[in-house]
Amino acid sequence: MVLAELGGSISKAIHRMTNATIINDKVLDECLNEIARALLQADVRFNLISDMQANIRKTVNLNNTAAGHNKRKIIQQAIFDELCNMLNPGKPPCFTPKKGETSVVIAGAFDQLKQNAAKVKIPFYGRPMESDPVKVAVEGVERFKKQNCDLIIVDTSGRHKQQAELFEEMRQVYEATKPDLVVFVMDSSIGQAAFEQARAFKQSVAVGAVIVTKMDGHAKGGGALSAVAATKSSQVFDVKPFVSRLLGMGGDLSGFIDKIHQVVPKDQKPEIGQKLLEGNFALRIMHEQFQNILKMGSFWAMGLMPKGSEKESQAKMKRYT
């Protein structure tokens, strides 16, 4: 189940609940059970789902809800909050990449990484004839520190929890290089096995973040939730906008503002601000800003509106430009 399908299933369950004539415990249970089935089909661990249901029932006490309160909104907010809590590690990421900073890669799988580094035009260091990965990592880090690089990535070879010697190797690299952030890169197709693998990874080194690949190619993407729960790792995305987009609610305004800053040329920003203050926001400036917005991609991908409704809005903006 891809993320869009998971979000659609959860949204349908909430929609059926909001359309019910009377909101009572039976309607709430039906809604929560439908959401639970969608999460189970996405391969989310049962104990995470069970905890989520229990917390929602504890938060939503329909029998003691004061008259005049919107029970539908209370349930919607409780579901939203618990989905956020399921993903939220409770701490911010220690590194957020910024445009214009220099990145480098130090070799794990030499040939593959060399090709990938060349594609994105970043420096690369590796020694294919050297058998000691710790030595290669230390040499690479020292070299790139002297070059004042903003971001140094040390890539280790792939491993799973049964390979004790590889985890020991990873621990040695960790102690020798003393990284600011350790990232667990996980193939989401392994499903619920992600939980045990992530926990084994966490026991070897201090995992600070999780990157999940291949989320849209199969029905086991929910294993990613298990991995985050196992490591309590930071995430470079904001949880609430992510869940909002998952449920088709839109509203990632802060992300939209960040993207505006990325696409608007720096030399134009003072001019635009001054024109706004003077009340001279001409059609030329509006046309330029419409073009900048269209460069950012789909409105749905930016989290500005639910999927499906963004096409008409973008088509109208294209007509103006």
| DSSP per-residue string spanning 262-276 | HHS-GGGHHHHHHHH
- Do 178 and 206 touch, CB atoms closer than 8 A? no
pLDDT by position in tens, the chain (length 321): 456 677 888 888 888 888 888 888 899 999 999 999 988 887 788 888 899 899 998 888 877 776 667 888 888 888 888 888 876 655 454 445 555 555 554 444 677 778 888 888 888 888 878 778 888 889 989 998 888 888 888 887 765 545 677 778 888 888 998 888 888 887 777 776 777 777 777 787 887 777 777 766 665 666 666 666 666 665 555 666 667 766 666 555 565 556 666 656 666 666 666 766 666 666 777 777 777 767 666 554 554 444 444 556 666 656 655
Q: CA 146 to CA 143: how far, in whole Å?
A: 5
Question: What is the model's pLDDT at position 30?
Answer: 92
DSSP 90: S
Contact 113, 105 (CB under 8 A): yes
23: Cα within 13 Å, side-chain hemisphere: 23
Buried b (16+ CB within 10 A) or exposed e, 207-243: bbbbebeebeeeebbbbbbbbbbbbebbbeebbbbbb
Note the pLDDT of residue 264: 62
Among residues 93, 40, 32, 103, the alpha carbon closest in space to that of 228 is found at: 93
Task: Name the region of 143 (left: φ>0; alpha: ψ -120 to 50; beta: rest).
Answer: alpha
Which structural domains are found in the chain, ordered by start?
A: 3-87 (1.20.120.140), 103-238 (3.40.50.300), 253-320 (no CATH)
- b/e per residue 173-201 (b: at least 16 CB within 10 A): bbeebebeebbbebebbbbbbbbebbbbb
Distance separating alpha carbons of residues 223 and 191, to the nearest angstrom: 4
Residues forming a β-bridge with 154: 106
Q: Is the dihedral of CA 175, 177, 178, 182 positive or negative?
A: negative
